[in-house]
Amino acid sequence: MKTIDSLGDLRGKRVLVRSDFNVPLDGTTITDDGRIRAALPTLSRLADAGARVVVTAHLGRPKGSPDPQYSLAPVAARLGELLGQDVALAEDVTGDSARSVVDGLADGQVALLENVRFDARETSKADAEREELARELAELADAFVSDGFGVVHRKQASVYDVAALLPAAAGDLVLKEVESLSRATTDPERPYAVVLGGSKVSDKLGVIENLLTKADRLLIGGGMVFTFLAAQGHSVGSSLLEADQVEAVKGYLAQAEQNGVEIVLPTDIVAADSFAADAPHRTVPADAIPDGTMGLDIGPESGALFAGKLADAKTIAWNGPMGVFEFDAFAAGTRAVAQGIVDATAAGAFSIVGGGDSAAAVRALGFDEAGFSHISTGGGASLELLEGKELPGLAVLED
Ligand SMILES: Nc1ncnc2c1ncn2[C@@H]1O[C@H](COP(=O)(O)OP(=O)(O)O)[C@@H](O)[C@H]1O
Ligand SMILES: O=C(OP(=O)(O)O)[C@H](O)COP(=O)(O)O
């Protein structure tokens, strides 16, 4: 991939950087700033080189128009603290405010454009719409650096289309991620175990088909579980369920058996009366989730089962918390899996934890990051790399 060095002397040049600042928020408080910290090497390097740095990023999944709860204002403030300079936030993506903020930049200064997903063209399926936004973004800059690893699997205007319009390069985070993950993509040491959880179920069920040709064991937890339990004919109460994926999951289960891949499902579930930190809850067998309750964590028996399935693994990839770890009552499954991975890593396994929330969970639960071989800022992106897909946001940066 092209590197920042290939862009030549950047003093006085406007450099558009795509970062992934999709951080967890509690109101306007950032609860984990890992993704902002991960962006600092590239941003500092560009600023130190005298570039005028214009950062574009998304936060959450707003519906294609401005929505204050998804404003990047908290990110601009935190980024400013970490960089040791004020970071101006444009009020729009490519409008008057963006142009005036960019025009006001001095060499070495960093500014942030408002949430790029406030513009519906960013995520449009229509090439012409995305390209139009990409042209507007490109007008704000002389070069483009792609450094939002967590979003390089998205064919979106600020990730994919803009790279064709400006001299473009991969940032240091993207290079580091691809290099670290390559150890699991090229000839992983076996047994190779993949742990999947989280809440982006429809996005991530799709990776399973390819993983069934790569991994030896698939451990399923988090919001993923219920589509599997439904595929086995069990009722899942009001748990997260992708009803239209149940047939596909039946196919995965059959394929796994054919390929000799072990799919490990939880045997017990912590079922709650509602989605709340203090919701009444109890541990139930996974095949007997009572109507009117929702599974918010894997149970203790499953935590031990999963840790056991990780103990002898030599390569481990984990994306997606095992439960709603943000609430103490539903964090035990995620803790058990994290501990299992730390123990396996100490015994010689190569381990990758990927995803904004998974990485945040590891830190929030007090684990030392050094206990894992690589903590990736991308969940979906790292999974798609591991399944062997070509990622649009990386393909456009190829030399
Ligand atoms: N059983 C569950 N029901 C609902 N949400 C869940 C469940 N298990 C995990 N989650 C949620 O999944 C979210 C993270 O999912 P995801 O975005 O897919 O992970 P990552 O950001 O690590 O890629 C967390 O906020 C967590 O609360
Ligand atoms: O949080 C992200 O991905 P992840 O949850 O898979 O780690 C990225 O910012 C991508 O966000 P998106 O899945 O809304 O495109």
Which candidate in 198, 354, 380, 393 is catalytic? 380
Q: Do 334 and 281 form a contact (C-beta atoms < 8 A)?
A: no
Q: Do 28 and 73 form a contact (C-beta atoms < 8 A)?
A: yes
Ligand 1 geometric centre to CA of 181 (Å): 22
Tokens matching residue 190: 């076996």
Q: Do 113 and 98 form a contact (C-beta atoms < 8 A)?
A: yes
Question: Cβ-count burial of 99 within 10 angstroms (0-12 exposed, 13-18 middle, 19+ buried)?
Answer: middle
Check whether 217 is labelled as a binding-site residue.
no
pLDDT at 384: 95
- 20, 31, 35, 199: which to mutate for ligand 1, most atoms within 8 A of CB? 199
The tens digit of pLDDT for each residue in 334-381 reads 999 999 999 999 999 999 999 999 999 999 999 999 999 999 999 999
Which candidate in 135, 155, 183, 200 is catalytic? 200
pLDDT at 249: 97
Helices 300-311 and 332-346: crossing angle in degrees, nearest 10, is 20
Check whether 108 is labelled as a binding-site residue.
no
In the chain, the amino acid numbered 59 is L
Q: Do 153 and 393 form a contact (C-beta atoms < 8 A)?
A: yes
Decide: helix, strand or coil at residue 262.
strand
The tens digit of pLDDT for each residue in 81-103 reads 999 999 999 999 999 999 999 99
Between CA 133 and CA 121 the distance in angstroms is 6
Which candidate in 354, 356, 379, 393 is catalytic? 356
pLDDT at 178: 97
Between CA 187 and CA 190 the distance in angstroms is 9
State whether the beta carbon of 222 lies less than 6 angstroms from ligand 2. no
pLDDT at 379: 96
Give which of 277, 251, 291 is closest to 329, Cα–Cα.
Answer: 277
Is the pLDDT at 246 greater than 90? The verdict is: yes
Closest ligand 2 atom, CA of 378? 7
The residue-averaged pLDDT of 161-188 equals: 96
The tens digit of pLDDT for each residue in 273-327 reads 999 999 999 999 999 999 999 999 999 999 999 999 999 999 999 999 999 999 9
When pLDDT is cut at 50, 70 and 90, the band that residue 213 belongs to is very high
When pLDDT is cut at 50, 70 and 90, the band that residue 186 belongs to is confident
Q: What are phi and psi of 54, to 5 degrees?
A: -115, 115
Give which of 174, 177, 217 is closest to 352, Cα–Cα.
Answer: 177
Between CA 153 and CA 134 the distance in angstroms is 17
Whether residue 356 lies in the annotated active site:
yes
- Cis preceding linkage at 191, omega within 30: yes
Please name which ligand lies nearest the alpha carbon of 21.
2
Tokens matching residue 351: 């381990």
Ligand 2 geometric centre to CA of 8 (Å): 31
Ligand 2 geometric centre to CA of 153 (Å): 9
Q: How much of the chain exceeds pLDDT 90, in percent?
A: 98
For the chain, how big is the Rg over CA atoms in Å?
21
Q: How much of the chain exceeds pLDDT 70, in percent?
A: 100
- For residue 322, count other CB atoms closer than 10 A to its CB: 34
Q: pTM score > 0.90 for this model?
A: yes
The residue-averaged pLDDT of 236-253 equals: 97
The tens digit of pLDDT for each residue in 324-335 reads 999 999 999 999
Q: Please list, residue by residue across 330-341, b when 16 or more beta carbons sit within 10 angstroms of its beta carbon and e when fewer do.
A: bbbbbbbbbbbb
Average pLDDT over all residues of the chain: 97
Q: Please list, residue by residue across 177-216, b when 16 or more beta carbons sit within 10 angstroms of its beta carbon and e when fewer do.
A: bbebbeebeeebeebbbbbbbbebbeebbebbeebbebbb
pLDDT at 175: 98
